[in-house]
Structure 1
């Protein structure tokens, strides 16, 4: 009887060790690049044209970093005391800061924009999966 118990325990131990060893040999999954999907729409309201509408996949923490990664948006920025601001999207440049037109953006579901009552600078806007942003080139603030 004692011999049967020892044999059964030995078999269980071998099975457990084999399972552990097999698990250790399996390739580890790396974090996927682009775990966040944010929806971007770019509209030139001055010329009544939609320039881009699509989803960007990113691991970036801020909107500014996500936009910089998205080569299809062809974003150009300038540095200021308030961080980067957009001067060009989709090869369309804004005008002089004094007279416009200007690139502005909004979001109806981004937590940072909702909590502030408006969207702050692109480097201050934290992003989450599923956020929607619309960028508009406007020639007035009305």
Structure 2
């Protein structure tokens, strides 16, 4: 009986330790409350410039959240390369224009993933952190 009691106590201790490790890891993830600055420009005008409060983990999730909340207008396609933005705006949707070679591009001077790579990855693969800032611009492609 004494041996069984030790086994039960050991199992309870193991469950408590595993639960503590799991809780610690969950608190360390950056899925929580973040403030992200989003700037949208088209036709030499700033259409949107706000700091958005979000729990999103990626830029793509944040943009979809903003579109669902009615903060912005958004069109995108998903390909093997990820989320490709084809239209954005606030009151009006501005779309890519093949005839003028204008396409939606975005950049960040402080997102670690963008800075380290020298470019921003597909929005759905781009992890965001509190304080990140992104500028979206409908601009002429320079090849």
Same fold (TM > 0.5)? yes
1:49 matched to which residue of 2? 45
Looking at structure 2, the residues matched to 50 and 113 of structure 1 have their Cα atoms a distance apart, in angstroms, of 22
Looking at structure 1, the residues matched to 138 and 109 of structure 2 have their Cα atoms a distance apart, in angstroms, of 18
Where in structure 2 are the equivalents of 1:1-142 lying within 5 Å?
Answer: 35-44=33-42, 47-71=43-67, 72-90=71-89, 91-96=93-98, 100-141=101-142
Q: How many residues align structurally? A: 108
Looking at structure 1, the residues matched to 118 and 97 of structure 2 have their Cα atoms a distance apart, in angstroms, of 26
Contact 1:105 1:134 in 2 (8 A): yes
Looking at structure 2, the residues matched to 120 and 100 of structure 1 have their Cα atoms a distance apart, in angstroms, of 21
Q: Output the TM-score relative to the length of structure 2.
A: 0.69
Whose radius of gyration is greater, 1 or 2?
1
Q: Output the TM-score relative to the length of structure 1.
A: 0.70
